[in-house]
Amino acid sequence: MNSSLSVPTDNPYKLMAIVGAVIFVFSLYFLLSQTYKYNDIVFQAAEKISIIAAQDELADGVKKDRISIENKKIEVVSEDRKYFPYICGVIAALGGLLCGIGFRHWIFEVYPDEQAIRKEQLKSLRLANRAASRVKLGKRT
């Protein structure tokens, strides 16, 4: 099985930077999607409360129980909303920090050395090519 996704394991800093960027992006996406989901739950519960309150055929005890269930949903969501953005923010900050450290080390420490090695290899190949082109090959008979 051949994967089309190539993970950059040649350099741990590059891998650290990419993983940090992925963590950062996914934590922000998760924060936004959960916020939308929480808002939807609250609006649906509020709508159900108004529908239940408008139903005259239900007994008062049943109305109170159903309304208390919907109010409990709203209460749970509002409790989750208190801490959830901070948790996602901490995870996003850790991902951003990991990304920043990885890119910094990769760009300022590893990449210049790799460039120098590549330039030296290119010089060596050019010299070897010149030496090989100076050798005259005789005609084959």
* Cβ atoms < 10 Å from Cβ of 82: 8
Buried b (16+ CB within 10 A) or exposed e, 50-73: eebeeeeeeeeeebeebbeebeeb
| DSSP three-state, residue 12 | helix
pLDDT top residue among 73 and 2: 73
Q: What is the pLDDT of residues 44-53, one digit of tens each?
A: 999 998 888 8
Residue 3 corresponds to which amino acid? S
- Look-up: residue for tokens 């509020």? 46
Q: What DSSP letter does each residue of 70-97 carry, written as one string?
A: HHHHHHHHHHHHHHHHHHHHHHHHHHHH
Q: Where are the domains of the chain?
A: 12-103
Instruction: Choose from 66-70, 95-99, 104-108, 124-128 the range with maximum mean pLDDT.
Output: 95-99
Q: What angle do the packed helices 60-105 and 12-54 form, to 10 degrees? A: 170
pTM as predicted = 0.67
**58 in Cβ contact with 52 (< 8 Å):** yes
**52 in Cβ contact with 46 (< 8 Å):** no
